[in-house]
Structure 1
């Protein structure tokens, strides 16, 4: 696996002229910018600060910003895998919406990507972002259902086949994640594996759950493993986000007092990848699918 730290090197002439006219700049997002993130924080997203702290420090991410006189107006990042890229956390300050900044920062993120090396670009579109991404050529691949628990969780016994991560299982986890996601995410995944819980049968890993990564993903090649890991996850989590193709997991959610409250669209630009959405029992995040 390799590190990528592509940074903004300018924008197209039309955007440069636009930004110069209104005294805005596009540049790399810095540690000092973290204190301004609460002003951009969408109400129904997770905390932006730890996410951008990770983006800054990761060799696989390249966060950028649009600012004016030192004030953040829009933010976003690329997250690089072996041959694909996710656009993540594209947010425009509420006071600066409807100025085209979402389109500008998205185009700049795309401009940074070597399309020959990374033929597939993905993102998860909110209602605000969807019209912008559609105009830029992104296509809908599928939808994620977002659930929240409305009542107490029925009692569940945690399977004894769920065990803490051990280094001997690392390669198996990488393999499962790659088969299901259709991407090689080992570089980013490796930062969180030590806190993961695995469903193991006869020393064979059938699924994993990572409590402190993004939306607390549950990925499993085996349906029973996925359901058992969901039972563990719901001891501490009251929200779930997963592809609509995983009807088994959705049925389990409904039986356990969860209700869908919205959906979002997984979109792609370029080469569409083969993946297994029915094996995702909770996604990683809107930044990674």
Structure 2
């Protein structure tokens, strides 16, 4: 077994590794291959994919993403092997913080590798639609003049500079604007359709728009306001996952994250 760079030809084998409760791996890995900030790898044997994963680099932090082991090859240490490899490829002086979102299966592996628990995400869904809210007149489609403000909101909430990857999706966002200031954003076409806001009213108004299109939500358990809003709109928790970090602990605003980007970006 060897660890090598994931190739476009490997996309065809991804359905065999597809976790049932994850989004489609193929478009994710197609993006990883195209992005200058992502470095996907694989463990293979005799041409068969056994495990996959990638690094996603920001200015001074890295997320480990989509670490998946083929169901027929679990409990052989492959998850630990590929995670260790991904960590070893990171310049720890340039990128002092490494993040990931751990499933129940991966959590013990990451603990053994030194990752610490930071918070948990509640995964919620609804079967019964709730009321339809009027959309705030303060919500507008993205305009180029607001680009730097959106990036600043993201930095304030995440504690990271993720401009490189965010700018691939920013043009599809909705913004909450007050007095010509961006107080929050919502990107329906990116990952889990994130909502971030430095103002609580902005966050809730953007969530009102989001739940008209989405029947699932993933929110840090620290954001009690968002969880209360979702409960009022028939969303029920069906599982949780753990946000973990390795290295330098940094400050971020979990209570201003009204829906995460994805398991690969928080």
- The TM tier, using the shorter chain, reads over 0.9
Deviates more, 1:147-156 or 1:80-89: 147-156
Match of 1:217 in 2: 194
120, 123, 136: which one pairs with 1:146? 123
Aligned residue among 66, 91, 95 for 2:68: 91
Q: CA deviation at 1:25?
A: 1.4
Aligned runs of 1:187-206 on 2, under 5 Å?
A: 187-206=164-183
> 1:33 aligned to 7, 10, 31, which one?
10
Q: CA deviation at 1:179?
A: 0.7
Q: Give the length in aligned residue pairs.
A: 266
Contact 2:54–2:86 (CA under 8 A) maintained in structure 1: yes
Deviations 1:160-185 (A, max 9, x none): 11100000000000000001100000
The aligned counterpart of 2:103 is: 126
Which residue, out of 255, 276, 289, partners 2:232?
A: 255
Aligned partner of 2:243 among 263, 266, 269:
266
Give 5+ residue unaligned stretches, structure 1: 1-23
Give the corresponding residue for 1:19: none
1:9 maps to what in 2?
A: none
**Structure 1 position 235, deviation (Å):** 1.2
Moved over 6 A (4+): none
Q: What SS class does the counterpart of residue 175 from structure 1 fall into? A: helix
2-structure distance, mates of 1:47, 1:153: 27
The residue matched to 1:176 in structure 2 has which SS?
helix
SS of the equivalent of 1:226 reads helix
Post-superposition shift, 1:141?
0.6
Q: Does 1:240 align with 2:220?
A: no
1:33 Cα deviation after fit: 0.6
Query: Distance between the aligned counterparts of 2:132 and 2:116, measured in 1?
Result: 41
Q: Is there any run of 5+ residues in structure 2 with no aligned partner, and where? A: none
CA–CA separation in structure 2 for the residues paired with 1:228 and 1:268? 31
What is the RMSD of the two structures over their aligned residues, measured on CA atoms? 0.6
Instruction: Report if the CA contact (8 A) 1:120-1:269 is conserved.
Output: yes
Q: Quote how far apart the aligned CAs of 1:137 are.
A: 0.6
Q: CA deviation at 1:153?
A: 2.0
Decide whether the 8 Å contact of 2:132 with 2:212 is kept in 1. Answer: no
Q: TM-score under structure 2 normalisation? A: 0.99
Q: Which has the larger radius of gyration?
A: 1
| 2:136 equivalent to 1:159 | yes
Match for residue 80 of structure 1? 57
CA deviation after TM superposition for structure 1 residue 150, in Å: 2.5
Distance 1:26 1:245 in 2: 37
Secondary structure at the counterpart of residue 131 of structure 1? helix
Mapped partners of 1:38, 1:83: distance in 2 = 33
The TM-score with structure 1 as length reference comes to 0.91
Match of 1:50 among 12, 19, 27: 27
Match of 2:47 among 61, 66, 70: 70
C-alpha distance in structure 2 between counterparts of 1:87 and 1:155, whole Å = 37
State the shift of 1:100 in Å.
0.4
